[in-house]
Structure 1
Amino acid sequence: MINSMSRLIIYGDIHGCYDEFISLRNQINPQKVDIEVCVGDIITKGKNSVKTLNFIIKNNIKSIRGNHEDKIIRYFNHQKSNKKNPIVLDNDEQNIIDNLTEKHIQFLENLPLFLRFENITIVHGGLQNHMNLDNLSKKDKQKILRLRYLDGNYEFLAYGKEDEKSIFWADLYDGNQGFIVYGHQWFQEIKKSKFALGIDTGCVYGNQLSAIVFPNIKEYPNYKIYSLKALF
């Protein structure tokens, strides 16, 4: 329930950095009326993925699906068939899967690709101007989880294919699907574009964990940034 007293609190990619997440959250001090949302990639890479997941489920914190949650979900879906699973897991991902309960799996499977609060839209990767979130093709659903750079023809570039001529999607986005808050691509500091905010600041790589707090959803351009240095 959104009321005029609710703050919208959005956390950048946590990636299992549980201690930083708890410290940052304590700094923000969420109240019962506030809405808390994770921008995806709650798990993998950091040392406390399952612990982080437990806390988020227990505290009714919302999240959208990141590409790392998506990989785990797709792995489970492939496991249901008799064929060889095409998804290769690293040790960290295997360890996470070995420790997931039915409750965890259900939570991950139910993560939406985006969430909207008034004019604020939360996606994990990004959007191209032709995309309509309410009518996404299967291809576009994968793209919004992974979008970073576009080529000279404004076409999606796979990870690692970008060069100095590539354009970051948010620098072209025209605001037609709302003011976007996203993660996925990490920056040293919050990336501010006209109609978008990138809030993954690479905590798992030793930089910082960031969150954006909108004190009033109806006045969406007003926000406060909270950041906490990685504790390792």
Structure 2
Amino acid sequence: MRTLVIGDIHGCYDELRLLLDKFNPDKSDRIFSVGDVINRGPESYKCISLLKELNVVTIMGNHEHWYLKCYPFEDNTVTSFNFRRLEIEDHIEWIRSLPYFIMADDFIIVHAGFDPVIAFKDNTYDMLVSVRTLEHTGSPWFDGYFGSKHIYFGHWAKLGLFFGKNVTNLDTGCVYGGTLSGYIIEENRLIQIPAKKTYHNIYDETL
């Protein structure tokens, strides 16, 4: 059995397809996504369809989290996510079902991170999907993490690929013209697919 963790996808379907083809999963393998499957890239709907087809365990990202807060009242949000109204209806229940983290025996997968000063279960959903630096320290959230479980996260394209002490950032900015990254835990092996183009300007990033 192999375990693949995929970084932020943001609608980059072609790159996701290539990454999964390169991984070539079999029935015994596990695949996880750190979230932010949707928005900014061109094919959010197709990305969700593919993840559902392959039973990929997907974590709630900030784009899914905030989309649910707006849906169905904000037509501009639907447009910005490159969905047609009927298409999003197909997948809205799937988005609602996404967990905010996965805690396994030896690793945790979360979209953004958490405040390690407080108990993991006491972190808010907003913290889990949006934190980069902590307000009370001004430092990256993981600077204060000394736990034994390895943390796999995304949400931080400007940080880029990062291997720290028991933490790994897999957001390598595919939608911004970078790469889509996947990490095979048991093999300690990285798969990266270069973006076909720059779909969104990283300097416009606010979420």
Give the TM-score range, shorter chain.
Answer: 0.7 to 0.9
Aligned to 2:60: 65
Structure 1 moving runs of 4+ over 6 Å: none
Aligned to 1:131: 118
- TM normalised by structure 2 equals 0.87
- Deviation per residue, 1:168-203 (Å, 9 max, x gap): 112222226x21100001147421111210000000
Bigger Rg, which one? 1
Where does structure 1 lack aligned partners over 5 or more consecutive residues?
1-5, 80-84, 155-165, 216-221
Q: Is the 8 A contact 1:50 1:99 kept in 2?
A: no
Letter in 2 for 1:8: T
Supply the distance in 2 between the matched residues of 1:147 and 1:97 (Cα, whole angstroms). Answer: 30
RMSD after superposition: 2.1
Aligned to 1:181: 152
Q: Is the 8 A contact 1:188 1:202 kept in 2?
A: no
Where does structure 2 lack aligned partners over 5 or more consecutive residues?
198-207
Aligned to 1:209: 180
Letter in 1 for 2:134: L
Residue 197 (str. 1) matches residue 168 (str. 2): yes
Aligned to 2:203: none
Superposed, 1:67-216 pairs within 5 Å as 67-76=62-71, 79=72, 85=73, 89=77, 91-93=79-81, 95-96=82-83, 98-133=85-120, 135-136=121-122, 140-151=124-135, 153-154=136-137, 166-175=138-147, 178-187=149-158, 189-215=160-186
- TM normalised by structure 1 equals 0.78
- Deviation per residue, 1:12-57 (Å, 9 max, x gap): 0000000001111111111110000110000100000001111111
Q: Is the 8 A contact 1:171 1:194 kept in 2?
A: no
Percent of counterpart pairs with the same letter? Answer: 30
Shift of 1:88: 6.4
